[in-house]
Amino acid sequence: MMRDSKHEEKSDLTSGEVGYLWESYQYESMQYIGIQFFLQHVHDKQTEKLLQKAMNLSEKRINQIQTIFTEEDYPIPEGYSEGDVNLKAPRLFSDKLYLKYLLHTLQMESVFYSSAMLGVVKFPIQRFYQEIMQDTLKLEMATKELVKSRGLYLRSPKVSQPKTICFVEKDSFLSGWFGDKRPLLAIEIEALVFNAKRNALGEAVITAFCQVAKSKEVRQYFMKGKAIAKKHVDIFTEFLREDDLDSSTLLLTDEVTASTESPFSDKFMMNFITLLITSGLGEYGSSMAMSPRRDIGMMYARLMAEIAKYSNSGAGLLIKNGWMEQPPMAIDREKIIKKESE
């Protein structure tokens, strides 16, 4: 495929390219720090190998983004560094949780980086994200296979196989509150199970953060998030139980040790929970879009409003403590004009 390389060399980064690269740097530096601590305590050799691979990929991507920003004369973000982790802290999570965490974050990456592929224009940056997607999908498959081989992968319930092709005949297909409520669709079941599993993992992680956070205000924020995550697990599994389906979801709190010495800074943990919330909002939105049943759509809308409110209070806490690095943004023309007129 022919391309005008001279034109690309002269063009500035688009808002999409700056935004995705900046967010990628934040995430990869966070992932690198987190897995660096995990590797201090992991016992299982196969899990260790996958974690090491993930950390190496994060380090590679961090260096690549730094190179891109340097070449474009764009400031390199601060992200997260050695000051955000205490590698001498006691073990906080089990090997089982390490595996489930890695699988979940790789799935998060797949969603985010596929969006990035659509939002970037310059050929070298497209190629960068294409390489990321290939590496992420390859590692996700390897991690999923290990999780399955250990009997840790919780599958969605089965649905009956239809004998013939059918078409919807009643408006009750869309209802969900009263009258003839139809059973869950296969895609609705999968979304409910997936969202229950991600909240079970989130509940375990935030439980650990509750134990080790230094700030009382941060601990209280995490305790509220723990209650929300557990409530959401219960809501999703109740929908499945109504159709006599196995929820396939178990809480993972017992995979958290009793340690109270923090391996991470409060800044790191607060921003990590913000990342989980952002990902959760996206998943709830996608799940809502895939469900024609009105009661399920309203359920997702209600839960999204709840975690958006929780996220907003967390943002206030981040700003108050100077822990929120400002993302790239448009020029504030009004502020400039006001300043010039003074």
Q: Which helix (H) or strand (E) holds 321?
A: none
pLDDT value for 1: 40
Distance CA 274, CA 279 (A): 9
50-77 burial, b at 16+ Cβ within 10 Å, e below that, comes to bbebbbebbbebbebbeebbeeeebeeb
Q: How many Å is the Cα radius of gyration of the chain?
A: 22
Q: Are residues 17 and 134 in the same domain?
A: yes
Q: Provide the β-strand partners of residue 85.
A: 264
**Which amino acid would we find at residue 6?**
K
10: pLDDT strictly greater than 90: no
Q: What is the DSSP code (8-state) at residue 161?
A: P
CB neighbour class for 89 (10 Å; exposed up to 12, middle 13-18, buried from 19): middle
Q: Are residues 233 and 136 in the same domain?
A: no
335 occurs within a structural domain: no
Q: Are residues 132 and 232 in the same domain?
A: no
pLDDT band for position 39 (cuts 50, 70, 90): very high
Residue-wise pLDDT tens digits, 253-274: 999 999 999 999 999 999 999 9
Q: Are residues 20 and 94 in the same domain?
A: yes
132 occurs within a structural domain: yes
Whether the Cβ atoms of residue 316 and residue 213 lie closer than 8 Å to each other: no
334 occurs within a structural domain: no
169 occurs within a structural domain: no
Q: Are residues 24 and 130 in the same domain?
A: yes
201 occurs within a structural domain: yes
Q: Are residues 186 and 315 in the same domain?
A: yes
Q: Are residues 202 and 299 in the same domain?
A: yes
249 occurs within a structural domain: yes
Q: Which helix (H) or strand (E) holds 289?
A: helix 266-290
Q: Which of 103, 130, 149 is the last residue of a domain?
A: 149
Q: Are residues 125 and 35 in the same domain?
A: yes
Q: Are residues 143 and 191 in the same domain?
A: no
pLDDT value for 37: 97
> What CATH number does residue 256 fall under?
1.20.1260.10
pLDDT value for 249: 67
340: pLDDT strictly greater than 50: yes
pLDDT value for 159: 78
Q: Are residues 93 and 207 in the same domain?
A: no
Residue-wise pLDDT tens digits, 62-71: 999 999 999 9
Question: pTM of the entire structure?
Answer: 0.90
Q: Which of 102, 132, 149 is the last residue of a domain?
A: 149
The rounded mean pLDDT for the chain is 91
Distance CA 75, CA 53 (A): 28
Q: Are residues 237 and 118 in the same domain?
A: no
Residue-wise pLDDT tens digits, 132-187: 999 999 999 999 999 999 998 888 777 777 777 777 766 666 766 555 678 899 99
Distance CA 76, CA 64 (A): 11
Looking at the structure of the chain, the number of domains it has is 2
pLDDT band for position 2 (cuts 50, 70, 90): very low
- Return the structure tokens found at 204: 């375990």
Whether the Cβ atoms of residue 233 and residue 200 lie closer than 8 Å to each other: yes
Q: How far is CA 60 from CA 13, 188, 208, 279, in A?
A: 21, 37, 29, 23
Domain assignment of residue 253, given as a range: 181-320
pLDDT value for 332: 76
DSSP string covering 223-263: HHHHHHHHHHHHHHHHHHHHTT--------GGGB-S--S-S
Q: How far is CA 118 from CA 17, 20, 114, 123, 124, in A?
A: 10, 10, 7, 12, 14
Q: What is the DSSP code (8-state) at residue 13?
A: P
227 occurs within a structural domain: yes
158 occurs within a structural domain: no
**What is the separation, in whole angstroms, between the first and last Cα of the chain?**
53
pLDDT band for position 5 (cuts 50, 70, 90): low
Q: Are residues 103 and 191 in the same domain?
A: no
**Mean pLDDT (whole number) for 73-96:** 96
What is the Cα 317 distance to its own chain's centre?
20
246: pLDDT strictly greater than 90: no
pLDDT value for 202: 95
pLDDT value for 157: 78
